[in-house]
Structure 1
Amino acid sequence: MRLHSDGYEEIDEGGNKRKSLLVTLTKVGVLLVLLIWGTVIVLKTVNGIVHQPLNRPKNRGNSRTTKDGHLKVSFANVRNNTFTPKIQPLQWISGPNSTTDDNGLFVTHINDSYVVKSVFDPHYSKTLFKGHSFLYGQQNLTVDTMIASPDLQKVIIRTNTTKNWRHSTFGSYFVFSTEKSEYQMIGENISVVEWSPNSIDIAYVLDNDLYLYSVEKQKTTKRITDDGSAQVFNGKPDWVYEEEVLEGDSAMWWSPEGDYLSFFKTNETEVYEFPIPYFVQHSDDVYPEVRMIKYPKSGSPNPVVHLNIYDLEKERTMNVNIDDDSVLITDVLWVGAERLLARVTDRTSDILSMVLVDAKKDAFYEVPRVEFSDDGWWEITHDTLYVPKDKSRDRHDDGYLDVVPINGYNHLVYFSSCDLSNPVILTDGDWEVVDGPAAFDYESNDVYFLATKKSSMERHLYSVNIHKPLVIKEITDTSKDGYFDVTFSSGSRFTLLTYRGPDVPFQKIIDLRSSKTDETIHGNVVGKTLYYLETNEELKGHLESYAIPRITYQELNLGTDEKGNQILVNSYEILPNDFNPRLEKHYPVFFFGYGGPGSQQVAKTFSVGFNQVVASQLNAIVVVVDGRGTGFKGREFRSLVRDNLGDYEAQDQISAAALYAKKSFVDEEKISLFGWSYGGYLTLKTLEKDAGKHFKYGMSVAPVTDWRLYDSVYTERYMHTPQQNPEGYASAKVHNATALGEAKRFLLVHGTGDDNVHFQNSLKFLDMLDIEGIENYDVHVFPDSDHSIRYHNANTIVFDKLLNWAKQAFEGHFISDMY
């Protein structure tokens, strides 16, 4: 995981991910606990009143309504999804010849059935599976997930799912034939399955070995590997590759015709183990359960990963013999029936190599492209897109699309042959292409992509033709603010356009090849809208009853840097209800920070969550600042933090706090900073650097406190190794306890079961405070919770505690406790 907290993303304010809101409290369970113990009185309401500490000053701004009678935002209506926009799932799928004959096939759920539909042909319908469960033998099994075969005749069903790490699971897998209405069991306790393009073979991983299952023969036909163990993984990633490299549970890739299967063989024998104790898994446990995890901390041995290719016809495995065992293989892409590209970097992401492998020639490889990061780094991406040869469309060789820095900004390039080292530059300018090419139209040669061309806080859809470089065509309406997501049908004729803000989100299906356009422009300016998938009319109705605190996007000038250049950063502020700028020294300021390299929090997306609760319930100004080191403002802006994490990021938060402290309506004694994960680290580094001058309070959740303790793949990309950069690691560590002691007070929160940012970080930090005699802090520990802090109702409690703690700070409750 890239140091993003799932716990905060639940009600995140313009962050990088969006997930469902916090789950509703199980009131019946709470009442049972009360009846059993009979000693605790818990006050809960359904109207947004959060837990109140005893013996505290009168509440500030805690009225449930504004002056004009509108309801204020509270946890109650955030948690019951009052403000959650509906985003309809639509899974595009590929049918036979779908790249040239694109009927816009997708899977949806209708009347308790999984059905294949077509956006092009409203009469087309094919039922894959009916119901949510099925009977196998004497067992009634629940369908947890389903994967359609490429020919749409069969589906793989997973049931009895057990969660492993962030992306990985174990489960029982079955094949269901839609024509024969029969089930085949592949096996139990399987971790990964992948359909072959031929719709006959299925590759799967059991006990870290790789197998082939044949649907035709209804049995496992081949055991590809036999060395799988607790130390060796075949076809699936280990912990660090799952979290930081592949960001998924699979490490295998079928060739386009299904003749070859490439896969990773990962050996983590030399990786050190880290123990994680679990204390409350079972009520009758008196000794904690200790789970060992292979976790490479910065500077320690990484897993050794080899790329292998299995030839199905010859039934043999070939090793791509890359000499250096210390490299990171970050992506694999088949570029034709027999060749693949492997994206390879050195351990510290300074050098990128594109390795071209020929499976037909015993995995012989060459390296047509090597690029250096200069003063930056190569971020791990999975955005390279294969462009097949088609002489009728002036594509004379197999090529690919990629994103590389052009004049300091990330832009699209086209390698017309995989053997080439110099590409055609498709886009250029002081803006960036985001997440690589979104789609390639095999008929028109158009490349679709999302970019920050209008504003780094927005995402609009554009296109460029590979034979007409630098001629950019707008697809979405850039005359209006907009942040769009897109997914495309298999042939890129149709797109699901999802508008995510700043206004209420909507979704629509567009035919990009239609000669007609919309009569009324709404979202897109190219293509014909076939229909709206979602308009969120119910949400619009809800919003009429509430006073949503006003949000303003801005670019802050934080002064000049060492070179005399102005420091311009993206920011937004949320003003509380009934805001009155004529009040003197009245409003507290609640900064929310993340600040990780290449990240972004200030984005024009619709969200009503924790930040709005703070503004409404605490009568506070909420401020979010994307300082130097964050993404989408060019390479120089983000790469400044290389080898020196925590310095510039903290400086920029302090500079922003200084600006707000000068505002007449701000109470400069009540400025706080909150962050989770990297944001928790940023909070502590900012308090350390500021030494109580501007930030009086801080709330740090699940922070890294010493980069020697975090995983190697993430840390070394930005810091190199501790052996190479000892001074940088010493400086980046949260280490000045005396300076932290100058703040009025801060809060530290962590889960003991955090497999990502280990609880060790907070324990070592607390030990430092003890040694230095620093006592101006509070601590809350969540037993067995991981990085998202949600075990045993923890996610509700942690946000209640954050809000209440900030409230006490702003009301001066901690001042009387000073000693």
Structure 2
Amino acid sequence: MGFEDEELEPLNYELANIRKRKTKGIFPVELALWTLLVWGSFALLKTIDSDVPSGISAFFKWHWPVRPGKQSLDKISFANVRNATFAPQLHSIQWISGVDSSVSDKGLFLSEKDDSYVVESVLDKNYSRVLLDSKHFEHDGYNYSVEYVKASPDLSQVLLRSNTTKNWRHSTVGSYFLLDEDQNGLRLLGHGIALVQWSPNSQDLAYVQANDMFLYSTKTHTVSRRITNDGSAQVFNGKPDWVYEEEVFEGDSAMWWSPKGDYLAYLRINETLVHEFPIPYFAQDDADIYPEVRKIKYPKSGSANPQATLMVYDINAQKFSAVEHGDASTLITEVLWVGDAKILAKTSDRCSDVLSVVLVDAEKGASHEVPRKESSEDGWWEITHNTKYVPRDSLRGRDQDGYVDLIPFNGYNHLAYYSPANSTDPVMLTSGEWEVVDGPAAIDFESNNVYFIATKKDSAERHIYSVNLHDPLNIKDVSDTSEDGYFSISFSSGSRFALVSYLGPEVPYQKVVEFKSNTSDALTAGNVLGKTLFCLEENETLKSRLKHYEIPQKTFREMNLGKDKNGHDIIASSYEILPPNFNPKLKDHYPVFFYAYGGPNSQQVAKLFSIGFNQVVSSQLNAIVVVVDGRGTGFKGRDFRALVRDNLGDVEAQDQISAAKQYAAKPFVDAQKISLFGWSYGGYLTLKTLERDAGRTFKYGMSVAPVTDWRLYDSVYTERYMHKPQQNSDGYAKAKVHNASALGETTRFLLMHGSGDDNVHFQNSLKFLDMLDLAGVENYDMHVFPDSDHSIRYHNANNIVYDKLLNWAAQAYDGRFLAL
């Protein structure tokens, strides 16, 4: 879902998109940023064991906190979570893709040093090249700060951005400048530019301004061509509109240079027929006595979608060609160059039932549909963006161009190699009752090794593996699977080097590994293949700091939630956090705080190191915290997740109730103090669960920014799981939060929403409140955050929302709502 970071375990200061929404993939590193970023405001945290894990070398000797005998340890609180007491230091190497990096990979990356931007090499510690010697500059008498840096592929010029203004979730607008190699030729590219991309030839730049595309020549330092002339508030060229940015590309770009820079593919998105949604803003300026109304083109389910057309522009011939790809409602979900003049485009119908593949010959201006038209059967086609081009190379056994894609195979997502590119019969590289996550991560074109992240060991873990294009199904471990682990990996442009990040369940660490070395690795912590060049981060300070805190114990397990309608066991992943000094001999003592997200193909039960809101609840309220990934969530195969198709909110609510009943039966649990909290889809699931349960098991609920009626949410997300309302009216009626009298049986519930939410509109909560009014239901509390969007951060709102959640739950467990 196009929801904000509340899909992650709450108040963990988010992993900066380490786990992507919907699929919860790992580290979608934006190589274009080209800076070495320190993620110092991370909180991903987990229980710390008192023993040193086995198999870890002296280089990575862990100093786990040993609990002193009589020393008083501090409890986890909001104060130390918010001030990053438990935040591990994590770095993201932004690798530089040079003109020859696929052949001669030196592991170049851009770092910030002493107020400068410097190109360095992980291979050669003496290599250093200053690209920019200051983070501030002057132009035409005005002072600017450097907010974004992107070098040309040959490193001869640097693109700078300043005056950045956030647009939607991924997009920005800013002032762009160009600096040549001698740092004495600073030129203004333009103000109010939304997107700029270097051509592979290092001479041309394509950029988007006012929804039109321009070509800038660094040879003449002029706009050499205005590519489009029809850009407007209704027509987007080269950049996505709201729904394509949020739900399709998950980014701000809709243009793609060919490998040699001879062609530029882009989307032309016409949203003339899309209805506008007005959002009033009340607290932007104290002087305003009337609200500011901003209108956004937002296609709700069943209404008109934007019409996207794939265009190809021939730079030399200055000619356009439009690609034929279905009707006006067709979604273009991925575009990939699979040769110097060939494009592969993946499309689907608006309900994601059928995937189609189109091959485009840019030189001839012709396109044809590959007979790889595949049905989702009883599920849906999830949008992916990790298809990798594999160029032909006869010396290495690749006679034709091809690509590696992620496809469903025997009910699980696996890697498939298509060669030639118009093939319909792929070679399956992986197979089994486990799933590849957002693969492939990288392909080494010299060795033919494909690297990927997968759940091969455990659905709650992420390990790194490799497979060779010429040796399919022979999977090799890259990370150490003998230990529990959640890994990410970021490869250099030639796939010779990688940043391996261990993210849990213990304290994270990071190391840089070379995969083409024949030398055995003496520093084997985390990886069993490759040679460790150096450790980038060990988080020793955090390990030492944790000795002074009472960390609530976190345990992962599989829960049997009973039988499904076919008589099969429902096995769901879960974890529980026990409060400090937990005593199982107490009777009817502990409240249980359930946290749920539960959206299709999502995941919350992951072995990540984390100390956040859930640990605060456990420590401060002496509560057991439980998280259950029930049916519909991801990484357990199509059968487990596809049950929710056309019927959102049904089995997800059943599974939360089943889990709560098991906890209510435990002798140490106070069955009158079981609550459920969720944000976004989790907020929706909270209300659907309370509605279905009618106060029998869950006595309290906290819902933040919920969808309450799927007719009100965006078309691309909703129709993927529910089809159109015109096709599934009964399903929409059932999925809506509609039974006010059942909600009235709950002891009490809390509803919170931001009035400026451009994603899940405040309209959802307002219509829900109207339903409660009509039914005379009053057993709830409400808090509105003026002008806050879906993340609820405007004007100190993020502190308030979590304070209120904690305080409200404390009142519930103290019995203060029983007399209301």
TM-score by length of 1: 0.93
Residues 598-653 of structure 1: CA deviation (Å, up to 9, x unaligned): 00000000011000000000000000000000000000000010000000000000
Q: Could you say what secondary structure the match of 1:182 adopts?
A: coil
- Amino acid of the residue matched to residue 3 of structure 2? L
Q: In structure 2, how many angstroms separate the alpha carbons of the residues matched to 1:22 and 1:486?
A: 17
Residues 368-407 of structure 1: CA deviation (Å, up to 9, x unaligned): 4111100000001101000000000010011000011111
Q: In structure 2, how many angstroms separate the alpha carbons of the residues matched to 1:225 and 1:170?
A: 19
The alpha-carbon distance between structure 1 residues 241 and 801, as it changes in their structure 2 partners (threshold 3 A), is same
Q: In structure 1, how many angstroms separate the alpha carbons of the residues matched to 2:475 and 2:13?
A: 33
Q: Which residue in 2 is equivalent to 1:750? A: 753
Deviation at 1:527, TM superposition (A): 0.8
Is 1:131 paired with 2:134? yes
Query: 1:52-91 counterparts in 2 under 5 A?
Result: 68-91=71-94
Is 1:724 paired with 2:724? no
Deviation at 1:521, TM superposition (A): 2.5
Q: Which residue in 2 is equivalent to 1:478? A: 481
Is 1:379 paired with 2:382? yes
Residues 260-303 of structure 1: CA deviation (Å, up to 9, x unaligned): 00000000000000000000100011100001100000000000
Q: Which residue in 1 is equivalent to 2:100? A: 97
Query: 1:202-213 counterparts in 2 under 5 A?
Result: 202-213=205-216
Q: Could you say what secondary structure the match of 1:654 adopts?
A: helix
Q: Is the 8 A contact 2:356 2:369 kept in 1?
A: no
Deviation at 1:10, TM superposition (A): 4.2
Q: In structure 2, how many angstroms separate the alpha carbons of the residues matched to 1:542 and 1:810?
A: 31
Q: Could you say what secondary structure the match of 1:361 adopts?
A: coil
Q: Which residue in 2 is equivalent to 1:178? A: 181
Residues 726-745 of structure 1: CA deviation (Å, up to 9, x unaligned): 00000000000011011100
Is 1:222 paired with 2:225? yes
Is 1:579 paired with 2:582? yes
Q: Among residues 546, 551, 559, which one is paired with 2:549 in the alignment?
A: 546
Q: Is the 8 A contact 2:99 2:200 kept in 1?
A: no
Is 1:355 paired with 2:364? no
Q: Could you say what secondary structure the match of 2:574 adopts?
A: strand
Q: Which residue in 1 is equivalent to 2:110? A: 107
Q: In structure 2, how many angstroms separate the alpha carbons of the residues matched to 1:716 and 1:410?
A: 21
Q: Which residue in 2 is equivalent to 1:705? A: 708
Q: In structure 1, how many angstroms separate the alpha carbons of the residues matched to 2:699 and 2:343?
A: 55
Q: In structure 1, how many angstroms separate the alpha carbons of the residues matched to 2:752 and 2:562?
A: 33
Question: Quick check: 14-23 or 559-568, which moved more?
Answer: 14-23
Q: Which residue in 2 is equivalent to 1:11? A: 12
Deviation at 1:321, TM superposition (A): 2.4
Question: Quick check: 122-131 or 768-777, which moved more?
Answer: 122-131
Q: In structure 1, how many angstroms separate the alpha carbons of the residues matched to 2:802 and 2:680?
A: 15
Q: Could you say what secondary structure the match of 2:548 adopts?
A: coil
Q: Is the 8 A contact 1:246 1:330 kept in 2?
A: yes
Q: In structure 1, how many angstroms separate the alpha carbons of the residues matched to 2:699 and 2:163?
A: 50
Q: Which residue in 1 is equivalent to 2:336? A: 333
Q: Among residues 451, 454, 457, which one is paired with 1:451 in the alignment?
A: 454
Q: Which residue in 2 is equivalent to 1:32? A: none
Q: In structure 2, how many angstroms separate the alpha carbons of the residues matched to 1:78 and 1:323?
A: 50
Q: Is the 8 A contact 2:358 2:367 kept in 1?
A: no
Deviation at 1:572, TM superposition (A): 0.2
Q: Could you say what secondary structure the match of 2:718 adopts?
A: helix
Q: In structure 1, how many angstroms separate the alpha carbons of the residues matched to 2:649 and 2:540?
A: 43
Q: In structure 2, how many angstroms separate the alpha carbons of the residues matched to 1:802 and 1:284?
A: 32
- Amino acid of the residue matched to residue 535 of structure 2? Y
Q: Is the 8 A contact 2:754 2:785 kept in 1?
A: yes
Q: Could you say what secondary structure the match of 1:584 adopts?
A: coil
Residues 725-770 of structure 1: CA deviation (Å, up to 9, x unaligned): 0000000000000110111000000000000000000000000000
Query: 1:432-447 counterparts in 2 under 5 A?
Result: 432-447=435-450
Deviation at 1:16, TM superposition (A): 3.3
Residues 122-152 of structure 1: CA deviation (Å, up to 9, x unaligned): 1111111122111112111011111111101
Deviation at 1:365, TM superposition (A): 2.8
Q: In structure 2, how many angstroms separate the alpha carbons of the residues matched to 1:752 and 1:152?
A: 45
| Paired residues, number | 776
Q: Could you say what secondary structure the match of 2:601 adopts?
A: coil
Deviation at 1:108, TM superposition (A): 1.0
Q: Which residue in 2 is equivalent to 1:288? A: 291
Residues 46-85 of structure 1: CA deviation (Å, up to 9, x unaligned): xxxxxxxxxxxxxxxxxxx998510000000000000001
Q: Among residues 592, 612, 615, which one is paired with 1:612 in the alignment?
A: 615
- Amino acid of the residue matched to residue 337 of structure 1? D
Is 1:2 paired with 2:2? yes
Q: Is the 8 A contact 1:159 1:173 kept in 2?
A: yes
Q: In structure 1, how many angstroms separate the alpha carbons of the residues matched to 2:174 and 2:375?
A: 42
Residues 209-258 of structure 1: CA deviation (Å, up to 9, x unaligned): 00001111111110010001110010111100010001111110000000
Q: Could you say what secondary structure the match of 2:424 adopts?
A: coil
Is 1:569 paired with 2:594? no
Q: Among residues 506, 513, 530, which one is paired with 2:509 in the alignment?
A: 506
The alpha-carbon distance between structure 1 residues 255 and 306, as it changes in their structure 2 partners (threshold 3 A), is same
Q: In structure 2, how many angstroms separate the alpha carbons of the residues matched to 1:266 and 1:280?
A: 33
Q: Could you say what secondary structure the match of 1:767 adopts?
A: helix
Deviation at 1:367, TM superposition (A): 2.1
Q: In structure 1, how many angstroms separate the alpha carbons of the residues matched to 2:760 and 2:248?
A: 17
Q: Could you say what secondary structure the match of 2:159 adopts?
A: strand
Deviation at 1:703, TM superposition (A): 0.1
Q: Which residue in 1 is equivalent to 2:166? A: 163
Deviation at 1:318, TM superposition (A): 1.1
Q: Is the 8 A contact 1:5 1:676 kept in 2?
A: no
Q: Among residues 148, 155, 159, which one is paired with 2:151 in the alignment?
A: 148
The alpha-carbon distance between structure 1 residues 225 and 168, as it changes in their structure 2 partners (threshold 3 A), is same
Q: In structure 2, how many angstroms separate the alpha carbons of the residues matched to 1:600 and 1:66?
A: 37
Q: In structure 1, how many angstroms separate the alpha carbons of the residues matched to 2:514 and 2:233?
A: 49
Is 1:428 paired with 2:435? no
Q: Could you say what secondary structure the match of 1:671 adopts?
A: strand
Q: Is the 8 A contact 2:3 2:790 kept in 1?
A: no
Gaps of 5+ in 2: 21-26, 28-38, 44-67
Q: Could you say what secondary structure the match of 1:454 adopts?
A: coil
The alpha-carbon distance between structure 1 residues 496 and 164, as it changes in their structure 2 partners (threshold 3 A), is same
Q: Which residue in 1 is equivalent to 2:627? A: 624
Deviation at 1:519, TM superposition (A): 2.2
Deviation at 1:2, TM superposition (A): 2.5
Q: Could you say what secondary structure the match of 2:711 adopts?
A: helix
- Amino acid of the residue matched to residue 378 of structure 1? W
Q: In structure 2, how many angstroms separate the alpha carbons of the residues matched to 1:68 and 1:620?
A: 23
- Amino acid of the residue matched to residue 375 of structure 1? D
Q: Among residues 223, 239, 244, which one is paired with 2:247 in the alignment?
A: 244
Q: In structure 2, how many angstroms separate the alpha carbons of the residues matched to 1:388 and 1:10?
A: 44
Q: Could you say what secondary structure the match of 2:765 adopts?
A: helix
Q: Could you say what secondary structure the match of 2:105 adopts?
A: coil
The alpha-carbon distance between structure 1 residues 163 and 7, as it changes in their structure 2 partners (threshold 3 A), is farther
Q: In structure 2, how many angstroms separate the alpha carbons of the residues matched to 1:269 and 1:20?
A: 43
Q: Is the 8 A contact 1:642 1:718 kept in 2?
A: yes
Is 1:771 paired with 2:774? yes
Sequence identity percentage: 64
Query: 1:112-123 counterparts in 2 under 5 A?
Result: 112-123=115-126
Q: Could you say what secondary structure the match of 1:529 adopts?
A: strand
Is 1:790 paired with 2:771? no
Q: Which residue in 1 is equivalent to 2:35? A: none
Q: Is the 8 A contact 1:145 1:159 kept in 2?
A: yes
The alpha-carbon distance between structure 1 residues 80 and 92, as it changes in their structure 2 partners (threshold 3 A), is same
Q: Is the 8 A contact 1:66 1:547 kept in 2?
A: no
Is 1:668 paired with 2:671? yes
Residues 389-441 of structure 1: CA deviation (Å, up to 9, x unaligned): 00000100110000111111101110021010110011111100001100000
Q: Could you say what secondary structure the match of 2:90 adopts?
A: coil
Question: Quick check: 715-724 or 506-515, which moved more?
Answer: 506-515
Q: Which residue in 2 is equivalent to 1:537? A: 540
Q: Could you say what secondary structure the match of 2:279 adopts?
A: strand
Deviation at 1:96, TM superposition (A): 2.3
